[in-house]
Amino acid sequence: MEYINNELRLGPLKKDLLSLCANYVRPIYVYDLDFVSQRYQAMAKALGKTRLFYAVKANPHVQILATLKKLGAGADVVSLGEIKRALESGFSVHDIVYSGVGKTRHEISEALKLGIYQINVESLPELQRIGDIARELKKTAAVALRLNPDIDIKTHPYIATGLKDNKFGMELSLIPELSATLKKYSDSVELVGVSLHLGSMMMEFTGYQEALGILKKVYVDLQKQFPTLKRFDFGGGVGIFYDRLDLQREESLLSDYAKITNEILGDLGCELQSEPGRWLVGHCGVLITQVQYIKKTSAKNFIVVDAGMNHLIRPSLYQADHLVMPLIKRSGEIRGDVVGPICESADFFVKEGVFSEVHENDFIAIMDSGAYGYSMASVYNLQELPLEICI
Ligand SMILES: Cc1ncc(COP(=O)(O)O)c(C=O)c1O
Give start and end residues of each alpha helix (H) in 115-185.
Answer: 124-137, 175-184
Query: Quick count: other Cβ atoms within 10 Å of Cβ 66?
Result: 16
Does residue 240's CB lie within 6 angstroms of at least one atom of ligand 1?
A: no
- C-alpha 250 chain-centroid distance: 16
Q: Give the pairing type, strands 7-10 and 15-16.
A: antiparallel
Question: Among residues 131, 81, 66, 85, which one has the least CA distance to residue 105?
Answer: 131
Instruction: Identify the CATH assignment for 100-274 out of 3.40.50.300, 3.40.50.2300, 3.30.70.2190, 3.20.20.10.
Output: 3.20.20.10
Domain 2-30+283-390 adopts which CATH fold? Lyase, Ornithine Decarboxylase; Chain A, domain 1 (2.40.37)
Ligand 1 in contact with 161 (CB < 6 A)? yes
Instruction: Give the mean pLDDT per block of 10 residues along the chain (391 residues).
Output: 92 96 97 98 95 98 98 98 98 98 98 98 97 98 93 75 81 96 98 92 89 95 97 91 91 94 94 97 98 97 98 94 95 95 96 93 98 97 97 97
Alpha-carbon gap, residue 378 to 309, rounded angstroms: 9
Q: Could you report the per-residue pLDDT of 59-84, keeping only the tens digit for each?
A: 999 999 999 999 999 999 999 999 99
With beta carbons less than 8 A apart as the criterion, state whether 172 and 218 touch: yes
21 annotated active-site: no
Q: Which residue among 68, 275, 284 has the greatest number of ligand 1 atoms within 8 angstroms of its CB, and so is best to mutate?
A: 275
**pLDDT reported for residue 158:** 75
Question: Rounded to the nearest whole angstrom, what is the distance from the C-alpha of residue 81 to the centroid of ligand 1?
Answer: 17
Pairing of strands 285-296, 301-305: antiparallel
Give residue 275 CA to ligand 1 midpoint distance, Å: 6
Which ranges of the chain does DSSP label H, i.e. alpha helix? 33-46, 62-71, 80-88, 105-114, 124-137, 175-184, 206-225, 247-265, 278-281, 314-318
Q: Compute the distance between CA of residue 312 and CA of residue 282 in angstroms, rounded to an integer.
A: 13
Residue 285 · residue 373 · CB < 8 Å: yes
Of the candidates 103, 99, 130, 149, the residue with the CA atom closest to the CA atom of residue 274? 99
Reduced to 3 states, what is the DSSP secondary structure of residue 190? Answer: strand
Please say whether the beta carbons of 170 and 215 come within 8 A.
no
Give the per-residue pLDDT at 126: 98
Selected catalytic residue, list 21, 270, 284, 343: 343
Ligand 1 and 39: CB distance under 6 A: no
Q: CA-CA distance, 51 to 72, in Å (whole number)? A: 9
Chain Cα centroid distance, residue 288 = 21
Tell me how far the alpha carbon of residue 199 lies from the centroid of ligand 1, in angstroms.
7
Half-sphere exposure of 52 (CA within 13 A, CB side): 29
Ranges of each domain in the chain: 2-30+283-390, 100-274
pLDDT per residue over 265-295, tens digit each? 999 999 999 999 999 999 999 999 999 999 9
Q: For position 328, what pLDDT does the model report?
A: 96
Q: What is the pTM (predicted TM-score) of this model?
A: 0.96
Quick one: pLDDT at residue 275? 97
Distance 118 CA to ligand 1 centre (A): 16
Tell whether ligand 1 has an atom less than 6 A from the beta carbon of residue 275: yes
pLDDT of residue 110: 98
In whole angstroms, what is the distance from residue 269 CA to residue 266 CA? 7
List Cα–Cα distances, 11 to 37, 70, 127, 368, in angstroms.
11, 20, 43, 10
